[in-house]
Structures are given as structure tokens and as C-alpha cells.
Structure 1
Amino acid sequence: MAIPAPNLTPPFNIVRLSHTELRVTDLAWSRGYYVDTLGLQVTYEDSETIYMRAMEERGHHCVILKKADVGSVGVLGFKVWSDEDLDKAEAWFKSRDLPTCWIERPFMGRVLSTRDPFGVPLEFYNQMERLEPIHQKYNLYRGVKPLRIDHFNLFSSNVDDSVKFYGDLGFRVTEYTEDAITGRTWAAWMHRKGGVHDIAFTNGTGPRLHHMAFWVPTPLNIIDLLDLMSTTGYLENVERGPGRHGISNAFFLYIRDKDGHRTEIYCSDYQTIDPDHEPIKWNLTDPQRQTLWGAPAPKSWFELGSVFEGADLVDSELKSQPIIAP
């Protein structure tokens, strides 16, 4: 299927991705992983939750860790341009017969809760508590030195349908993978903020969160993290990389926490601000689409993901697969 033309006048104005809530079974272990090892900064914590931000972020949080019996994902959050956009969003989701309600969230103003047609829990807001800048407090930098949350990647049982829905919301496709046999889209990368993506979709049983990603200063920070993880008890949490993607041209590393939540450490992609930026098409069988250097991804990368709270899983009808490492 052809990639739809971008919607440059969406029904409401989404600025960027903002935050996610991860349900974790061992809050102390997760703190050691995300805070002490990766280097996210704690902005609030109690016996049930930990709120964190990265070094360049002024908003109160980009990740919430919430203690739970089973690991899952509570929500994906997006910031909108104005308070008026929240009301426009409510009307738009209602017009699509999708659930909407206003909820209370700590450290945030009005929050609209909804789900996309595939069951992914979403929330939109305009105001989040602002914190003092810490990007020049170099004594706080540790781990991989995460600067900001960069994107979400989701497993989707129908990537073409996901692209159409999020395209209607103003997300624009930067790169995509086409299955040459069926002509269907196998994966797609879509943005609002002017990078390669705020959200991406990969063919598979969904909806599930494939990964969240953090932007870091340089590839050398990823090497430093690998040295740290390999000597502090986290070697088994390294899943894939380091490497450079063909898609996005980004330098990457994938790691997974105790509950299976996957994080990509990410840098060096490119700017996509121009409204007439043409999407780049990749063939599913091109070995350089996954890794520019040709190394295929492991089987776990195509099969394992985090379930969304309250979302029913659907198997993909598209069974084509790229090259998978033995």
C-alpha cells in the first residue's frame, strides 16, 4: 500500500512524544537499572512510584516506574501545543467513537485519556510542572548520560492501518519498509518534532511496546555504558548492538530490564523539519536496513515486547520477515 500524503493541518497540534509509564515488579531493582546505571534523574519517588527525567528535559518526568505484580505499559504520553488543543483532541477522538475522559495526574495540568483504535492507552496534556535546568550540572551526569526521550516503537498487527491513523493526527512518515511481495508496509517511522521519529511501528503481534529510546551525546557514551553494564551485573540485559541503523542512520544499543521492557540508546539521526521531506523506502530483504554494517537483529528483537495495560493482542496477517540472526 502507498504511504498516505502527510496531513499538514491536523485536527489538533501535537508537539512531541513526552512520557511513558512502565509497570515493574521490583522497584528497587528498576531504580538501580534506570537511575544508577542508565543515569536518569529522579524527580519524585515514594514506595510505589519513581518519576524520572533526562538531563535536557525541563518537564517533571519522561518515565514513571510504577510497582506492579506484572510488568506492562500503563500509557504513552504526548504534549500538545495549547490547552485549546486538548478540547479539540477530545472532540476528535469522540468523533472516531474512541473512549475519552479527563484524569488527574500528579505534576500535570489537564490530562485527556484515550486509546487509539488498536487499544494503545494514550494521554495528552499541555502543561507539566517545569523544573530548573540541569543540563549544565555536569556533576549529575552518569551512566550513558541520557539527554532526552526520543521515541517510542510499537509492534502493530497492521502497520498500514497504524500509519493511516497516526498520519491523520499529523505524524509524518520519514522512512518505511515495504514488503515487495505483498506491497504492504512492514515498518514505518513517523515524527512530529523534526527528528526521524516520535513513534514507529513494526509488524508483529500487537499492540505492544517494542521499545522506548533515549538520545545521548555521542556513540562513545554507548561504549561507556556497555563497559559499565558488563562489569556491574547487567551483561545479560544487553540484547543488540552497538551498531548503526540503515534506517535513521542512528547509532544504537538495545537493552532490556528485569521485566522485559526494552530501551534503545540512540544518537546521530538527522533532521526532518521540512514539510515536503520525502519518505525513504527500504526493501524488507535489504540487510542494511536493520544495521548499516550488515549484522542482522536477534530473534528476540522481532518477537519480544511489553504489553499495554487493557489492550487485547492481535496477530499480524503479514508473515514476511527480514533477515534474522541465528
Structure 2
Amino acid sequence: MPVPAPNLYPDFNTLRLSHVCLNVSDLARSRRFYTEILGFQVTHESDTHVYLRAMEERGHHCVILQASDRPGTVEMLGFKTFDEADLDRADVYFKARGRPTQWVERPYQGRTLRTSDNIGIPLEFYHRMDRLPPIHQQYALYRGVKPLRIDHFNVFSSNVDDSVAFYSDFGFRVTEYTEDEKTGRLWAAWMHRKGGVHDMAFTNGSGPRLHHVAFWVPTPLNIIDLLDLMATTGHVANIERGPGRHGISNAFFLYILDPDGHRIEIYCSDYQTVDPDLEPIRWDLTDPQRQTLWGAAAPRSWFEHGTEFVGAEVRASELDASPIIAP
């Protein structure tokens, strides 16, 4: 099935991904991990929530940690629209496609539209978020891996072709994709709004489940520093995959798990994709360099472990195809 042509004039304008709300079992433990190990800055906290931002971000938060009796699940994925009127246009758009919509109150945000995509991923769109003073030159605050900004989401989808078609219709553009040679179907795809390789990616598997949320760091050396820090603070078991360089995206990467099993990618060095007529790059599922440019295969856990979305029914993958998996 071919990659759909991008819709360059969508019904509403999504600017970029914005934030994620992760459900956790022990708020204090998760706070320590995200601030002392990863290096995020706390912007507000209560008995039930901790709000975090990365060092280059002016918006109030990119991560919300929420104390929950359902830890290891994901409450929603957040996106920012270009202007306020886009929220009303998004409301009309999703209703016309049979998706539920609701206006919800969210701390530190203006009007927020809650909906879901074609496979049930809970999405929230907003335009205004409280602005905070810049801290990117306050170098005394930098800790851990020195996260600069949220970069992308990756989600398991039971039907990647359907997911790509749905997001393409409201303006996401494919940069790279993996095709199963036998069936001609998509096994994975990387889609963007902000001009990087991806804001949203889809990987074949039982879904919807969050595969990972990724954060941009200054250099690959920051990843090496994080590994040394994790290895000497009792977090060796939280290191899942990497470091390495992806074939897809060309990015330097590391995958780790937080205390509740949410997968975090630490990420840098991908490329610019601003031109709207940029042709997507195709990869074959059996190419050993698609996962890691250096040829190292990913572990089985990377293809099987994900965190469920609250309220979304998980379905088995419709495509029975496998990439190369490490023994």
C-alpha cells in the first residue's frame, strides 16, 4: 500500500507535539528519576502531579507525572495548534470523522480539546500554554542528560497503514517508512509537523500503546554521561537499548525505562525536513541498517513492550511480519 500524499492544506493546523501525561505509582520516586537522573526542571508540583519542562522550552510543561492507581499507563498525548481558531476547526474535523470531542480544563493551558484518533489514542489540542522565563543559559541548572526539548512520540499501531492515512489527512507528512516486501504494507512510518524527522511515529504491533516519548539532547556525549550516571546510581536495569545511531532518521539514540516502565528515548542529530515536497525515504523491513546504521539488532523487548493508553482497547497487529531481532 503506497504512502499517502501529504495534505498540505489540512482543515486545521497542528504546529507540533507538545507534552505527555504519564501515570506513575510513586510520585516522589518518579520525580527523582526525571529531575536527578534525566535533568528536567520542575515547574509545579502537588500531592498528585509533577509538571516538568526541558531546558530550551518556554511552555510550562512537556511532561506531566500523575499519581495513579493505574501506573505504567498513559493519560494522553498533547499537541499545540497554530492559533486559537484551529481548535474550533479541529473540533468540527474530529466530529465529522466520528471521533468523540470534549472541551476540558487543564492547568496552565487555555482552551483544550480532547479527542482520540482512529485507533483510540487519547489526544489533546491546545493553543495557549503559560509561558515561563527562559532558562537555557542558566547553566548551573543543567543536570543529567541535559534535555533540551521534547522531540517525538512513537506508538504501536495494529494497522500502520490506517494510522498513517488518518494523520496524513490532517497534515502530518511522512519522512521515512518501512515496508514489508511480501505484503506491500507499512510496518512503520515517521511523520512530522515541526520540520524534524517526526512528531509522531507508528510501529507495527499490538496497539494502541505508547512505544516511547523522545527528548532532544545537545550531543551524543550527553548520552554517554547519562549512561555513566545510571550505571553508578542503581539504574543499570533501566538501560534497554543503545547507544547507537539509527539508520532511519540518522539520529544518535539511547532507550531507557523509567521506574514504571515508560520507555524514554534520548535523541539527537537527526535532519531537517521543512520542504513540503520532500520525498519520503523507503526502508525494507529486512535491512539490518534500518534499526541501527551500524547493523546491531534491537532486543525483543523493544518490539513487544509498550505502555497502554487509558481508555483505549488494545488490538493484536493485523500484519504478521518481523524485523531482525537480537538473539
Q: What is the TM-score of this pair, normalised by structure 1?
A: 1.00
**Counterparts of 1:147-226 in structure 2 under 5 Å?**
147-226=148-227
Q: State the shift of 1:28 in Å.
A: 1.2
1:263-316 residue CA offsets vs partner (Å, 9 max, x unmatched): 000000000000110000000000000000000000000000000000000001
Q: Which position in structure 2 is the counterpart of 1:65?
A: 65
Q: Which position in structure 1 is the counterpart of 2:140?
A: 139
Q: How many pairs align?
A: 326
Separation (CA, whole Å) in 2 of partners of 1:53 and 1:283: 37
Which stretch shifts more, 210-219 or 314-323? 314-323
Q: State the shift of 1:32 in Å.
A: 1.2
User: Could you say what secondary structure the match of 1:313 adopts?
Assistant: coil
Separation (CA, whole Å) in 2 of partners of 1:131 and 1:4: 39
Kindly provide the amino acid, as one letter, of the partner of residue 63 in structure 1. Answer: V
Q: Which position in structure 1 is the counterpart of 2:257?
A: 256
Which stretch shifts more, 195-204 or 25-34? 25-34
Separation (CA, whole Å) in 2 of partners of 1:195 and 1:177: 18
Identity of aligned residues (%): 71
Q: Which position in structure 2 is the counterpart of 1:7?
A: 7
Question: Are 1:44 and 2:19 an aligned pair?
Answer: no
1:202-235 residue CA offsets vs partner (Å, 9 max, x unmatched): 0000000000000000000000000000000111
Kindly provide the amino acid, as one letter, of the partner of residue 227 in structure 2. Answer: L
Gaps of 5+ in 2: none
Separation (CA, whole Å) in 2 of partners of 1:74 and 1:242: 29
Q: Which position in structure 2 is the counterpart of 1:296?
A: 297
Question: Are 1:243 and 2:248 an aligned pair?
Answer: no
Q: Which position in structure 2 is the counterpart of 1:26?
A: 26
User: Could you say what secondary structure the match of 1:272 adopts?
Assistant: coil
User: Could you say what secondary structure the match of 2:249 adopts?
Assistant: helix
Kindly provide the amino acid, as one letter, of the partner of residue 229 in structure 1. Answer: M
User: Could you say what secondary structure the match of 1:211 adopts?
Assistant: strand
1:58-117 residue CA offsets vs partner (Å, 9 max, x unmatched): 000000000012220000000001110000000001101110010000000000010112
Kindly provide the amino acid, as one letter, of the partner of residue 16 in structure 1. Answer: R
Q: What is the TM-score of this pair, normalised by structure 2?
A: 0.99
Gaps of 5+ in 1: none
Separation (CA, whole Å) in 2 of partners of 1:177 and 1:19: 26
User: Could you say what secondary structure the match of 1:145 adopts?
Assistant: coil
Kindly provide the amino acid, as one letter, of the partner of residue 199 in structure 1. Answer: M
Q: Which position in structure 2 is the counterpart of 1:130?
A: 131
**Counterparts of 1:71-86 in structure 2 under 5 Å?**
71=71, 72-86=73-87
Q: State the shift of 1:259 in Å.
A: 1.3
Separation (CA, whole Å) in 2 of partners of 1:298 and 1:259: 19
Separation (CA, whole Å) in 2 of partners of 1:257 and 1:69: 17
Kindly provide the amino acid, as one letter, of the partner of residue 145 in structure 2. Answer: V
Q: State the shift of 1:47 in Å.
A: 1.1
Separation (CA, whole Å) in 2 of partners of 1:307 and 1:150: 20
C-alpha RMSD of matched pairs (Å): 0.5
Separation (CA, whole Å) in 2 of partners of 1:149 and 1:258: 19
Kindly provide the amino acid, as one letter, of the partner of residue 156 in structure 2. Answer: F
Separation (CA, whole Å) in 1 of partners of 2:265 and 2:122: 21
Kindly provide the amino acid, as one letter, of the partner of residue 217 in structure 1. Answer: P
User: Could you say what secondary structure the match of 1:65 adopts?
Assistant: strand
Q: Name segments (4+ residues, structure 1) moved above 3 Å.
A: none
Separation (CA, whole Å) in 1 of partners of 2:318 and 2:110: 40
Q: State the shift of 1:194 in Å.
A: 0.1
Q: State the shift of 1:258 in Å.
A: 1.8
